[in-house]
Chains A and B, each alone.
Chain A
Amino acid sequence: EVQLVESGGGLVQPGGSLRLSCAASGFSFSDHFMDWVRQAPGKGLEWVGRVRKKANSYSTDYAASVKGRFTISRDDSTNSLYLQMNTLKTEDTAVYYCARVGLNWNFDYWGQGTLVTVSS
């Protein structure tokens, strides 16, 4: 069974940093691109960014709203995905989901999400 479990969310002050993790199991993690998607309270879904697999040089892409502040990485040896968030803003407050990019390019599996609150 495919499982994605996020952790690391919490309350952080504006300008602060936080690192989210996503533990993957039940599939060959190294064979998949992995993404982060967020959802502000009461709002819709917003793509955050992607990390590709080793064959694609672990290259990354980011939404303009987070580029230069957020970094996505992965550790295939531990089946883990990470989101390093720096210089956090109040508008980064959201539930952050990790999502697996399926063979058909949609997000075929999602984690349960972890809440990040940026507030003084």
Chain B
Amino acid sequence: DIQMTQSPSSLSASVGDRVTITCRASQDITNSLAWYQQKPGKAPKSLIYAASSLQSGVPSKFSGSGSGTDFTLTISSLQPEDFATYYCQQYKTNPLTFGGGTKVEIK
């Protein structure tokens, strides 16, 4: 199975900060990577697919990059509605696997 490792597991940031979350795959997944945002008590929401493509309707403050084994999700200017948990997911091979999540909290 492909292991997905996110870092950090949590971070504290202020409104307006630029935030970067890292996701590392245990083997090459080319660009078969997605990012999701989840708020407490809610279903995950798709943000990014194919490592860097923005899901329709998602604001451009979210961006993704990377290929192979190393990927990043960046929020350019953190807003109150962005405080949530973020997950990466590989869809290169079954079983599909998720990272452990990164909780973004208010400083």
Binding site for B on A (CB under 8 A): 35, 37, 44-47, 50, 61, 63-64, 97, 102, 104-113
Contacts and interface: CB of A to CB of B under 8 A. Distances in A.
Interface string B81-94: 00000010101001
A45 B43 contact: no
**Size band of the interface chain B makes with A:** 20 to 34
Contacts of A112: 42-43
A80 B24 CA distance: 35
Contact of A44 (B43, B91, B95, B101): B101
B58 to A, nearest CB: 11
Nearest to A35: B96
Interface of B: 32, 34, 36, 38, 42-46, 49-50, 53, 55, 87, 89, 91, 94-101
Nearest to B96: A47
Contacts of B49: 102, 104-106, 108
Given A104-B53, A106-B50, 18 more contacts: A35-B96, A44-B101, A45-B87, A45-B89, A46-B98, A47-B96, A47-B97, A50-B94, A64-B95, A102-B49, A105-B32, A105-B91, A106-B49, A106-B91, A107-B36, A107-B89, A109-B46, A113-B43
Q: Is the contact region of chain B dominated by helix, strand, or loop, or is it mixed?
A: loop
A35 B89 CA distance: 14
A64 B96 CA distance: 11
A120 to B, nearest CB: 26
17 contacts: A37-B44, A44-B99, A45-B87, A45-B101, A46-B98, A47-B97, A47-B98, A50-B94, A102-B46, A102-B49, A104-B49, A105-B34, A106-B89, A107-B89, A108-B46, A110-B46, A111-B43
